[in-house]
Structure 1
Amino acid sequence: MTEFSLSQTVVSQDGEQLYSYEYAARMTETSTVLVERFAELGLIEPIGVMLHQRDITRIAKIQRLRRDLGLNLVGAAMVLDMAQEIAQLRAQIKAYQSLK
């Protein structure tokens, strides 16, 4: 089991746990350079040099789409964004149908 230094995680003003790029790279089996690239492309939304768990999850999902489907970074991010939008639309339809 790998031990992480305390500097790799902090708590935000909202009480949310934030993680360093190094921690994200380890958890997603990638590099800090690639995590930085995700941030540069706007595929994740860092707070300074720290990330929410949702960003780390998104990196892992994008990496899986790249590996399994051969998509590039932006293509994989688009797939995730469309899947999220479809889920939101389905929830809206379900809510609308329950009002009838």
Structure 2
Amino acid sequence: MSFSLSKIVVSPEGEQLYTFEYAALITETSITVVEVYVKLGIIDAIGDLLHSREIARIAQIQRLRQDLGLNLVGAAMVLDMATEIAQLRAQLKVHQSYSSNTL
């Protein structure tokens, strides 16, 4: 299945989706790399389409691999941990806000 780079596809949530070809172009990788990331579960695809956040994740992984010399699994783990830390910080902020309002 082939898509034009200019084709606009929107998810049921109203978010724009992008082709593997577009993701490869933007992240300066190849379609094969994008497909491997999907097969390994490093990024999530909707059929042959990706959310912009998944394209950003590809770019971040590429930077971690090039700049820090991390392997693919290590780069994915760093991003997963960073996401988890951000979520925990947000939860802590909500908890602190709730605690200070009940005093």
TM-score of the alignment, normalized to the shorter chain, above 0.5: yes
Q: How does 1:1-100 map to 2 (within 5 A)?
A: 5-7=5-7, 9-100=8-99
Q: Deviations over 1:13-67 (max 9, x none)?
A: 3322111100000000000000001001101110001101011000000000001
The alignment covers a number of residue pairs equal to: 96
Counterparts of 1:14 and 1:45 in 2: how far apart (Å)?
16
Sort the Cα spacing of 1:13 and 1:33 in 2 relative to 1 into closer, same or farther, 3 A.
same
- Tell me which stretches of 4 or more aligned residues in structure 1 moved more than 4 Å: none
Query: Unaligned 5+ residue runs, structure 1?
Result: none
8 Å CA contact 2:23, 2:34 repeated in 1 = yes
- Percent of aligned positions with the same letter in both sequences? 65
RMSD: 1.3
Letter matched to residue 78 of structure 1: M
Q: Tell me how far apart the structure 2 counterparts of residues 40 and 21 of structure 1 sit (CA, whole Å).
A: 13
